[in-house]
Amino acid sequence: MGDIATHSQTLRQTFRQNSGRWSSHGRTWLSSGNVLSLIMSFTLFALSALFALSAISPQSAHAATGADSTPVFAHPALTIPRIDVQGYGSLNLSLVLESEASMTFRIASAAPAAAGLTPGATYNLQTQELTIPTLRVGSQFYSAQLRFISADRLQLVSTTAVVLPGQTSYQQLCANCHGTDGLGGSVGVSLKNCSNCSALDVLGTRINNTMPLGNPSACIGTCASDVASYILTAFNASASQQTGQALAAIEPLSLDATLRNAALHLVGRLPATAEVALVTQKGEAGLRQALDGMLEEDAFYARLAEIFNDVLHTNRYLSTNGAEAAIGLMRRFPTSRWFDPGVDLRGSDFTVNRTTTNNSVATEPLELIEYVVRNNKPMTEILTANYFMVNGYSAKSYGLTGINFTNEWDPNEFRPAVLPGTPHAGILSSLMFLNRYPTSATNRNRGRSRLVYDVFLDVDILALDGVRPDGSAVDISSDAPTMENPDCVKCHTLLDPVASSFQNWNLRGTFAPPRTWYTDMFQAGFAGVSAPPRSSGDSLQWLTKQIVADPRFDDAMVRIMYTGLTGHEPLDGPAAGAPQAQTDAYLAESTHLDYIKAKYVGANRNLKTMVKEIIVSPYWRADGLNNIAFSAVHEETGAARLLTPELLHRKIEALFGFQWRGPLDQYAANRNVFSSARLLDTRQYYHQIYGGIDSFTITDRLTDPNGLMVIVQERMANEMACYGVPNDLLSTRTARRLFPHVDTSTVLTSAQGQAAVRQNIQHLHRYLLGEELALTDAEIEHTYALFATVLQQGQSAMLGKTETSSLPTRCMRSNDMNTGASLNVAGGVDGRLRNDNNYVIRAWMAVVAYLLSDYRFIYG
């Protein structure tokens, strides 16, 4: 032990340095509600009392689940998960720094130590000294000794900086990728609750065999086990308590509301009665059961394709980007344009066959994902599948026969197939993928490699800190700078082995093994392991097996789905010096995502399991905070998002029973015309303006509204109110979606009419916005006031002849929405709705327009 004064000063400085961080948002370890009210004297006799008290005191849930035994100082609390007292047993003890000047601590709480902990400190009854061999302060470690001074107080008398076994090796070999704090970086995953952090031997083996990437022999044997021990001690300690507190601060949506949001998001409809009953009867189990059903619906797979296309962008080859955008990539297939008998011989089906064929070829990678998920196969198969997907149309283009289609003209019937002589490697060997991410003789598949890392390994190579020379020319004077210049090697040692693994797939995406491969770049391999000789098979197939065995592949799948479902990417690891709230936020979220990942992996990597876990997670269900002290931690928490044009399109249809395409009198003619869909068509309407992507020149969605987008919302609200209100009032009350409590004659001149209007407003808030409001709620009154005002002003205007009783022309209903037939059948009842004699329809239109432009409608 060194000089006491020096060490005390060291620790004091450390405390001060950390005090600003740990106290920045007013939380201490003592706020978890488990503080014993009675502070006891830390004497021999008091110890007896403490043990007696702790035996009957409620124990912190976090303490019960925390498996780490390392004492931690997080200003101002010093927590000792287990202290053994000679002759008495084990306590969980919390001290609070009372005086920085004298380094005096006060005992704040005591409880029985959780089972399974190892002693982190000892108390000597004779010397009255408390010894902590390893005390964690931030990312540093100390040994510390405290001495009982009086009553319930102890004083720090010495500290010594401790270098844990493996710490030095970690900083030298691992920190560059995983961060000095273990929270991960652009390449390395977070080591907090990492997939291999379940046990020392598991992690040690992993390090021994594969780490550091590209040079696993640098740390084997004792080095590997020491580094593993350090990682578990330094980065997996005491996170559970912080995480638990953070998650507990989230107020979740009710299960009913969760069901509604999930149904709208996943399958574009409202929950069925049976699904609501399931939730009512079985709670969360019922919700999961309802989700199980949704995940079998075609609509879910349409949403799934959107989510994956947002990262793959293979829909760049849909016919909306060129009539034969995909077919044009198939020049080597003689029958690629099987649908064209020649200009003079084209029949009426030419256009539909061409479009269907093109889009069938274009969506092949996304169809593979659907096939894997729909059939409960592990997601690893999206890369390892030794087949690709065709339907009757694309099979003809590829010249494939003998595929057992039930209906070869059903564009939705995709089946696995194999191109002769082609070693398929899932998405990576897809013609669409390989063309979407082309290469060249100089690029040598490095672009493809970068994308593989980004999408399938959750590693952004381009974000590597400090490794890419900037501002001055790179020294490329050697023959192979990517193998020799240290500035280049850092990236290329990762990039090039994967790039070389694509060597058998040429610039146009065809399997065409070259005679030789470049020797001035790193050869095919992955994570420090070389690919087998070419004679033993295609290196791309080999690569995909390596990728899916890497835990980062699971991280990547979680990232894609979490981002797709919540609209927000998982938080990045906090940068050095980041506020403590950011660290806490990251820890809480990443811990929960690890939990979701573990569930998914445990379910044989069935993506449906992951979707369900995300939906029921506090992050997707977040509806508020019950403790504003956590506002900074939860700044990014929640799944509220500006709905994408596709999601908004489907929500409108789910609630109104028709799409936003224009007046309903023309709906029968427009309903299947792509260019009439206001939120899907780009050129004439709003898909692009509203933040959609074409997967070609525009690949990033707009997630925040701009000036044009709010006008799109305004027009949508106006038009849909115009179309939807009269249409609903045409139906009988029991068949109505919007107005089950009122008619066109329901006005406010009677108490009965007023009550009916209020009741219907309550219904509209529930039906359109998902709000459960009491009839006395202020929001009901606000909406009522709008209705009443518009009604009164409108009736006055009609009396004053400044307005007529006619509905706006495009709001009139004269034809059947589905058939286009006139609603005024000769000899029958005139079923048209063209007038609004009481101004009631227009008053309700105003209310519906008000609600449709509401935050809770356009976000979800």
| Residues within window 492-511 making contact with other proteins, judged by CB under 8 A | 507
Nearest approach, Cβ of 599 to other proteins (angstroms)?
25
* Span from 397-405, 408-416, 746-754, 778-786 in contact with other proteins (CB under 8 A): 778-786
| Residue type (1 letter), 14 | T
Tell me: does residue 689 bind other proteins (CB under 8 A).
yes
| The residue to which tokens 């029973």 are assigned | 657
Cβ pair 824, 831 in contact under 8 A: yes
Pairing of strands 121-124, 77-85: parallel
DSSP-assigned letter for residue 455: I
Residue range at the interface with other proteins (CB under 8 A); choices 65-73, 173-181, 535-543, 844-852 = 844-852
Among 544, 611, 846, 860, contact with other proteins (rule: CB under 8 A): 846
405 counts as binding other proteins under rule CB under 8 A: no
Nearer CB in complex with other proteins: 344/704: 704
The C-alpha atoms of residue 166 and residue 226 are separated, in whole angstroms, by 4
3-state secondary structure of 639: coil
The C-alpha atoms of residue 549 and residue 542 are separated, in whole angstroms, by 11
Range 543-582, binding other proteins (CB under 8 A): 568-569, 571-572
Q: Between residue 142 and residue 171, which ones bind other proteins under the rule CB under 8 A?
A: none
Q: Of 552, 541, 560, which Cα lies nearest the Cα of 607? A: 560
Q: In whole angstroms, how close is the CB of 623 to other proteins at the nearest point?
A: 7
Q: Which of 319, 718, 727, 744 binds other proteins (CB under 8 A)?
A: 718
Within 640-669, the residues that bind other proteins by CB under 8 A are 640, 642
Interface with other proteins, residue 670, by CB under 8 A: no
Distances (CA, A) of 48 to 45, 63, 130, 181: 5, 21, 17, 39
Per CB under 8 A, the segment of 407-415, 514-522, 717-725, 752-760 that binds other proteins is 717-725
Buried/exposed code over 683-705 (b: 16+ C-beta within 10 A; e: otherwise): eebbbbbbbbbbbbeeeebbeee
CB of 809 to other proteins, least distance (A): 6
Strands (E), 548-650: 622-625
Tell me the window of 295-303, 637-645, 667-675, 736-744 that interacts with other proteins (CB under 8 A). 637-645
Among 13, 280, 706, 835, binds other proteins (CB under 8 A): 706
Nearer to other proteins, 230 or 723 (CB): 723
d(CA 424, CA 382): 11
Q: Which residues 172-211 are close enough to bind other proteins by CB under 8 A?
A: none
Which residue of 534, 797, 814, 820 would you call a contact of other proteins, by CB under 8 A? 797
CA atoms of 72 and 247, how far apart (whole Å): 21
Query: Tokens 């034809």 — which residue?
Result: 815
Q: In this structure, how many other beta carbons lie within 10 angstroms of the beta carbon of residue 417?
A: 18
CB nearer to other proteins: give 815 or 853.
Answer: 853
Of all helices (H) and strands (E), which one includes residue 111? strand 104-112
Q: Which two tokens stand for residue 248?
A: 């507990």
Choose one: 189-197, 273-281, 304-312, 695-703; the region binding other proteins (CB under 8 A): 695-703
Q: Does 698 bind other proteins (CB under 8 A)?
A: yes
Is residue 628 involved in binding other proteins (CB under 8 A)?
Answer: yes
> Within 437-466, which residues bind other proteins (CB under 8 A)?
438, 440-443, 446-447, 450, 460, 462-463, 465
- Among 375, 631, 675, 824, the residue binding other proteins under the rule CB under 8 A is 631
Q: Considering beta carbons, is residue 101 or 473 the nearer one to other proteins? A: 473
Residue pair 229/200 in contact by the 8 Å Cβ criterion: yes
Pick the stretch among 360-368, 608-616, 828-836, 840-848 that binds other proteins (CB under 8 A): 840-848
Residue closer to other proteins, measured from CB, 348 or 442: 442
Task: Compute the distance between CA of residue 297 and CA of residue 688 in angstroms, rounded to an integer.
Answer: 28
Task: Say whether residue 855 binds other proteins (CB under 8 A).
Answer: yes
Site string for other proteins, 16-55 (x = CB under 8 A): ----------------------------------------
Q: Which CB atom, from 261 or from 391, has the smaller least distance to other proteins?
A: 261
The C-alpha atoms of residue 61 and residue 32 are separated, in whole angstroms, by 9
Which of 297, 306, 413, 636: binder of other proteins (CB under 8 A)?
A: 636
DSSP string, 552-573: HHHHHHHHHHHHHHHSSPPPPP
Segment interacting with other proteins, rule: CB under 8 A, options 19-27, 96-104, 329-337, 712-720 = 712-720
Among 31, 810, 821, 831, binds other proteins (CB under 8 A): 810
Could you say whether residue 780 binds other proteins (CB under 8 A)?
A: no
The single residue among 129, 413, 484, 803 that binds other proteins, judged by CB under 8 A, is: 803
- Cα–Cα distances (Å) from 221 to 194, 208, 526, 800, in that order, read 21, 6, 22, 93
Dist. CA 766–CA 783, nearest whole Å: 13
Among 498, 709, 757, 833, binds other proteins (CB under 8 A): 709
Query: Any idea what the Cα angle at residue 632 is, between residues 579 and 99, rounded to 5°?
Result: 60
Q: Cα-flanking dihedrals φ and ψ of residue 571, to 5°?
A: -65, 145
| Count of other CB atoms within 10 angstroms of residue 519 | 9
Residue 640 CB, nearest approach to other proteins (Å): 5
Which uninterrupted H or E stretch holds 765? helix 751-769
Work out whether 856 is an interface residue with other proteins (CB under 8 A). Answer: yes
Of these, 403, 625, 654, 773, which contacts other proteins (CB under 8 A)? 625
Contacts of 809 (CB under 8 A, 6+ apart): none
Site for other proteins in 228-267 (CB under 8 A): 251
Selection from 369, 408, 410 nearest residue 389 by Cα:
369
Indicate whether 468 belongs to the interface with other proteins (CB under 8 A). Answer: yes
Using rule CB under 8 A, residue 624 touches other proteins:
yes
Vertex 247 angle, CA 243 and 251, to 5°? 170
With a CB cutoff of 8 Å and minimum separation 6, the contacts of 211 are 173, 174, 219, 224
For residues 419 and 200, what is the distance between their CA atoms, to the nearest angstrom?
Answer: 45
Asked if 188 and 178 touch (Cβ cutoff 8 Å), the reply is yes
Amino acid 174 reads: C
Query: CB-side exposure of 631: number of CA atoms within 13 Å?
Result: 5
Nearer to other proteins, 412 or 809 (CB): 809
Cis peptide, bond prior to residue 423, ω within 30 of zero: no
Assess 719 for contact with other proteins (CB under 8 A).
yes
Q: Binder to other proteins among 705, 740, 753, 820 (CB under 8 A)?
A: 705
CA distances from 270 to 276, 617, 858 (A): 10, 20, 16
Which one of residues 6, 375, 809, 818 is an interface residue with other proteins (CB under 8 A)? 809
Nearest approach, Cβ of residue 185 and other proteins (Å):
13
- Do 335 and 291 touch, CB atoms closer than 8 A? no
Q: Which of 40, 207, 841, 849 binds other proteins (CB under 8 A)?
A: 849
Any contact of residue 738 with other proteins (CB under 8 A)?
Answer: no
Contacts (CB under 8 A) with other proteins, residues 583-622:
622
Q: With respect to other proteins, which residue has the nearer C-beta, 7 or 492? A: 492
Give whichever of 11 and 791 is closer to other proteins, judged by the CB atom.
791
Q: Which is nearer to other proteins, 347 or 707 (CB)?
A: 707
The answer to whether the CB of 443 falls within 8 A of the CB of 495 is no
Which of 178, 374, 597, 634 binds other proteins (CB under 8 A)? It is 634
Q: Which stretch binds other proteins (CB under 8 A): 195-203, 239-247, 423-431, 469-477?
A: 469-477
